[in-house]
Amino acid sequence: MEVLKVERLSQSFGGLSVLEDISFSIGAAEKVALIGPNGAGKTTLLNVLSGFIPPRAGRIYLLGNDVTHMPSHRRASLGLSRSFQINTLFSHLSLLSNVLLAIQGVQATRYQMIRPITAYKGNFDKAQELLELVDLWGERDSAITTLGHGQQRQVEIILALASKPRLLLLDEPSAGLTSGETGNLVHMIRNLMGDSTVFFCAHDLDLVFSMAERVVVLYYGHIVAQGTAEEIQNNPKVREIYLGTEK
């Protein structure tokens, strides 16, 4: 069964069609990239997939469940997780609290009102594991706002990974990072993602081809090409689109 199946998805803003008849699917443990020029609709697609914008038409199936009109938080319970293009963190809470909340988000105990959060040792251990993997355990009590931008970006991704999602959506993970920071980030993602299914969109083609096995190309709301990384790199249409924009 595919982890994600998208059928004839369409979305428009006002009269402007942003996504047109999008269909594709992603299998378990696949790492798939979504590329396309600015304004092609990449972030919109991720927003529709994660439930922040309803589609105008089409269907979305997550692990066989029709989630087309399901609210975001319920998709998370089914195993969908995402990161945002702009850091969307719990700014004034500590790093540890951020990670705990991310781990807790899919647990029933998140509604528990009487026992303190410190009683859930399992989650603390998981949080420690995650933060130690990226060398941020020492900063666990710092408020997010005190961390550097590169670190915050790492946290942005960690939060999405904390709940061990089945499908991970990453929206421009390296946005705003220097190439050095990007390298670190890719390293971190590859360490943490394990055999999760990952669907991410990015501008940086180096990033794309170092992480993805398959690539989907979006051009003004339409999928114009799909294939392995190699196929896409050699696809003449794709080169035409990117001529002058990227390498």
Partner 1 sequence: MILRVSKEEKKRLIRLAPHIFIGLLLLTLPIYTDLSIVSLFTKILIYGLLVMSLDLLVGYTGLLAFGHAAFFGIGAYTTGILIKHYGITSFWLSAPAAVLMAVLAALVFGLVALRASAIYFLLITLAIGQLIHGIVHTSARPLGALTGGSDGLGGIPYPDIGFSFSFSPNSFYYFTFVIFIMCALLLYWITKSPFGYSLQGIRESEIRARALGYNTWLYRYIAFVIGGLFAGVAGVLYVHYNGFISPEGVGMGASGLLWLMLILGGSGTLWGGFIGGRIILSLQYFVSGFTPQRWPLILGVCFVGIIMFYRGGILPQLIIFWKKMSHDGSLKG
Beta strands per DSSP E along 131-246: 167-171, 197-201, 214-219, 222-228
Our finding on whether 68 is near partner 1 (CB under 8 A) is no
Our finding on whether 48 is near partner 1 (CB under 8 A) is no
Our finding on whether 94 is near partner 1 (CB under 8 A) is yes
Residue with Cβ nearer partner 1 (65 or 234)? 65
Our finding on whether 199 is near partner 1 (CB under 8 A) is no
132 phi-psi bin (left φ>0, alpha ψ -120 to 50, beta other): alpha
CB 166 within 8 A of CB 197: yes
Burial status of residue 111 (CB atoms within 10 A of its CB: 0-12, 13-18, 19 or more): exposed
Q: How far is CA 142 from the centre of its chain?
A: 25
Our finding on whether 89 is near partner 1 (CB under 8 A) is yes
Our finding on whether 105 is near partner 1 (CB under 8 A) is yes
Q: How far apart are CA 247 and CA 228, in angstroms?
A: 18
Residue with Cβ nearer partner 1 (31 or 82)? 82
Minimal distance, residue 194 CB to partner 1, in Å: 19
Q: Which of 196, 215, 163 is nearest to 32 (CA)?
A: 215
Our finding on whether 110 is near partner 1 (CB under 8 A) is yes
Out of 15, 116, 236, 244, point to the residue binding partner 1 (CB under 8 A). Answer: 116
Q: How far apart are CA 180 and CA 6, in angstroms?
A: 35
Minimal distance, residue 29 CB to partner 1, in Å: 22
Stretch that binds partner 1, among 6-14, 71-79, 184-192, 198-206 (CB under 8 A): 71-79
C-beta atoms surrounding 181 within 10 Å? 17
Which tokens is 175 given? 């946005």
Our finding on whether 88 is near partner 1 (CB under 8 A) is yes
Our finding on whether 93 is near partner 1 (CB under 8 A) is yes
Minimal distance, residue 173 CB to partner 1, in Å: 15
CB 170 within 8 A of CB 198: yes
For the segment 152-171, give every residue that binds partner 1 (CB under 8 A): 159-160, 163
Torsion of CA 220, 174, 188, 133, to 10 degrees: -130
Minimal distance, residue 99 CB to partner 1, in Å: 11
Out of 15, 16, 118, 244, point to the residue binding partner 1 (CB under 8 A). Answer: 118
Provide the binding-site residues for partner 1, judged by CB under 8 A: 50-52, 71-74, 76-77, 81-82, 84, 88-94, 96-98, 100-102, 104-106, 109-118, 120-121, 124-125, 128, 140-141, 159-160, 163
